[in-house]
C-alpha cells in the first residue's frame, strides 16, 4: 500500500460545497483579436456547469450580460474603446457585487481580461465593507500593467493591473468607488509571466508586485511558487480571488487564446496550481478570461479549462490528509 493510500482523513478545504454563480460576459472589446466574446458559451458547451454540479457545487447560471458592440476603432489618447469598455466593466461590477451580496461565489466567464477591472473592483469593495483582507492570484503570460502612456497598442486588456492599482485614466481607476485604488499592489501575486513590455516591467517593479515568472517556476518548481504565493492565507479570513487568463497555459495544450506565448505551465503544473488553490479553502471569486474559441481546435482548450476547474473546486485523485 503506497503512502498516499494510507491517509484517510478528508481535506476539508477541497470538499467544501460552493454556491457558484456563472456570469457570462461575451465581449472582446479590450483585445486586438476578435473571438473571446464566444468564450462563455464555449465553456458551457464543454460542460462547465454539469461538471461543477457533479462535485457537489450549487451552480446557478445567469446567462450572458449585455453590453455595447465592439466598435473596432483605433486608439484615442492611448486607449481603445474606453467608453463602451467601461459600460461592460460597470455591468460586471454590478453582477459580481450582487453575487457576493447574495452569498454566492461569482465565476466571471469572459471575454477579455479588461473585464477584471469590473470584477476585482467589485470584490475589493465587498471586502472593504466587511473588513476583510483581499489576496489576488493572477495567472497570466502577460503582466497586464500598461498605462495609456506606455501601452504599445492601447488595448485595455493590457491595463487592468495598473488601473486596479490606481494608475491610469479616472474612467478606469474610479471603478473602486472609494477614491483609493481598488487593489494594493502588495495584495497581488502574478504567476506564469513570460511576455512583458520594457516600460511595463519597470512599472511592475516600481509598484512592488509579487511576481513569479516562468524562470521562477523553472528554478523553484510550481509547488514552491504556490506555497510562497499562498503562505499568508492559512488561519486567516482573507478573501482569495483568482484571475485566470487562459494564455497562462502553454499553447501546446491550450491553443484557444488570442495572445499565446510559448513556454507556459504544463498540464500537470497547472493542475497542481489549481489543487493548491483548492487546498486553501479560501477561494471567494474568480475570473476566467481570454478563451478564444475561434482559435481553438474542436473546443479542446475549453475542455481543458473545465478539467482544471474541477480540480479547483474539489476533484481529487485520492482522499488526502489535512496538511
Q: For residue 1, is it within any domain? A: no
Number of domains into which the chain is organized: 1
Instruction: Find the CATH number of the domain harbouring 116.
Output: 3.40.800.10
Q: Judge whether 218 is annotated as a binding position.
A: no
The residue to which cell 479549462 is assigned: 305
Active site residues: 113, 140, 142, 144, 157, 245, 247, 290
pLDDT tens, residue order, the chain (323 aa)? 343 333 322 334 433 468 999 999 999 999 999 999 999 999 999 999 999 999 999 999 999 999 999 999 999 989 999 999 999 999 999 999 999 999 999 999 999 999 999 999 999 999 999 999 999 999 999 999 999 999 999 999 999 999 999 999 999 998 877 667 999 999 999 999 999 999 999 999 999 999 999 999 999 999 999 999 999 998 889 999 999 999 999 999 999 999 999 999 999 999 999 999 999 999 999 999 999 999 999 999 999 999 999 999 999 888 776 54
Give a yes or no: residue 264 inside a domain.
yes
Q: Is residue 242 part of a domain?
A: yes
Helix intervals (H) in the chain: 39-45, 48-54, 82-101, 116-130, 160-164, 170-173, 198-207, 214-220, 222-230, 267-280, 300-312
241 is in an annotated binding site: no
Q: Is 245 annotated as a binding residue?
A: yes
Say if 141 falls within a structural domain: yes
Query: Bridge partners of 14?
Result: none
Q: Domain residues for 227?
A: 12-312
**pLDDT of amino acid 318:** 83
The rounded Cα 274 to chain-centroid distance in angstroms is 12
144 annotated as ligand-binding = yes
Q: Which residues pair with 79 in a beta bridge?
A: 76
6 belongs to a structural domain: no
- Quick check: is 5 in a domain? no
What whole-number distance in Å separates Cα of residue 295 and Cα of residue 36? Answer: 9
Structural domain contains residue 22: yes
Residue 247 annotated as binding site: yes
239 has binding-site annotation: no
- Residue 92 in domain: yes
Amino acid at each position: 500500500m503506497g503512502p498516499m493510500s494510507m491517509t484517510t482523513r478528508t481535506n476539508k478545504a477541497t470538499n467544501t460545497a460552493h454556491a457558484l454563480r456563472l456570469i457570462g460576459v461575451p465581449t472582446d472589446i479590450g483585445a486586438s483579436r476578435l473571438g473571446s466574446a464566444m468564450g462563455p458559451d464555449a465553456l458551457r458547451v464543454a460542460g462547465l456547469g454539469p461538471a461543477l454540479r457533479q462535485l457537489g457545487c450549487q451552480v446557478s447560471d445567469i446567462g450572458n450580460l449585455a453590453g455595447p458592440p465592439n466598435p473596432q476603432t483605433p486608439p484615442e489618447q492611448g486607449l481603445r474603446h474606453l467608453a463602451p469598455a467601461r459600460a461592460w466593466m460597470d455591468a460586471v461590477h454590478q453582477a459580481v457585487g450582487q453575487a457576493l451580496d447574495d452569498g454566492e461565489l461569482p465565476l466571471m466567464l469572459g471575454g477579455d481580461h479588461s473585464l477584471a477591472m469590473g470584477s476585482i473592483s467589485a470584490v475589493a469593495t465587498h471586502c472593504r465593507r466587511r473588513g476583510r483582507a483581499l489576496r489576488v492570484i493572477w495567472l497570466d503570460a502577460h503582466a497586464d500593467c500598461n498605462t495609456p502612456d506606455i501601452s504599445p497598442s492601447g488595448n485595455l486588456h493590457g491595463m487592468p493591473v495598473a488601473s486596479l492599482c490606481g494608475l491610469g485614466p479616472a474612467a478606469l481607476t474610479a471603478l473602486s468607488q472609494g477614491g483609493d485604488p481598488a487593489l494594493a499592489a502588495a495584495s497581488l501575486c502574478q504567476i506564469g509571466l513570460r511576455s512583458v513590455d520594457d516600460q511595463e516591467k519597470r512599472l511592475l517593479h516600481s509598484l512592488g508586485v509579487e511576481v513569479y515568472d516562468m524562470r521562477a517556476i523553472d528554478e523553484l518548481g510550481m509547488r514552491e511558487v504556490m506555497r510562497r504565493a499562498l503562505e499568508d492565507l492559512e488561519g486567516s479570513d482573507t478573501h482569495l480571488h483568482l484571475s485566470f487568463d487562459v494564455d497562462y497555459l502553454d499553447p501546446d495544450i491550450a491553443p484557444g487564446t488570442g495572445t499565446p506565448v510559448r513556454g507556459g505551465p504544463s498540464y500537470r503544473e497547472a493542475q497542481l496550481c489549481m489543487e493548491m488553490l483548492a487546498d486553501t479553502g479560501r477561494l471567494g471569486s474568480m475570473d476566467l478570461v481570454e478563451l478564444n474559441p475561434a482559435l481553438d481546435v474542436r473546443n479542446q482548450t475549453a475542455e481543458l479549462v473545465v478539467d482544471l476547474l474541477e480540480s479547483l473546486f474539489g476533484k481529487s485523485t485520492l482522499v488526502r490528509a489535512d496538511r
